[in-house]
Amino acid sequence: MSYTDLGKATGLSTSAVHQRVKRLEQRRLILGYGATVNHAEIGLPLTAFISIRPIDPSQPDDCPDRLEHLPEIESCWSVAGDESYILKVRSHAPAEIEELLARIRSAANVSTRTTIVLSTYYENRPVTG
């Protein structure tokens, strides 16, 4: 949405909206902007969540560093519970997920549990006050 459109929606001038947005960016409340991608249209229709936990918990907790080179991993979250991290991955076929699991296990010395997404009803919903 343009600053002019935001101003119309909020009753503020374009320059006031611009200043407020810049302040929100400086305060790091707005971290960036992005496009919503249709993953099926770019050949990545399969989404999976992979939970990982270290095989040897006494080793350093550096899984995100060990896995950052894998482009199939879209997101990595540190979580509480049985697993240490949950990874969101995109692929074009189940066989690719299987191959990715082997690379994840090898790179990070972890065990995995995988959930395949059947349908996505909504994702990246806008924040509402």
* pLDDT per residue of the chain (129 residues) written in tens, 0 to 9: 899 999 999 999 999 999 999 999 999 999 998 888 999 999 999 999 999 999 998 988 999 999 999 999 999 999 999 999 999 999 999 999 999 999 999 999 999 999 999 999 998 887 776
Q: Of 48, 51, 59, which is closest to residue 109 (Cα–Cα)? A: 59
Res 39: pLDDT: 92
Token pair for 128? 């509402």
Q: Of 79, 86, 94, 82, which is closest to residue 46 (Cα–Cα)? A: 94
As a whole number of angstroms, the distance between CA 21 and CA 25 comes to 6
As a whole number of angstroms, the distance between CA 94 and CA 26 comes to 42
User: Does the predicted model carry a pTM greater than 0.75?
Assistant: yes
Range of the domain at 11: 1-34
Could you tell me if 30 and 53 lie in one domain?
Answer: no
As a whole number of angstroms, the distance between CA 83 and CA 73 comes to 17
Count up the domains in the chain and report the number. Answer: 2
Residue 104: CB atoms within 10 Å: 24
- Residue 105 domain flag: yes
CA 120 to chain centre: 14
Res 87: pLDDT: 98
Q: Of 1, 36, 3, which is closest to residue 21 (Cα–Cα)? A: 3
Could you tell me if 105 and 74 lie in one domain?
Answer: yes
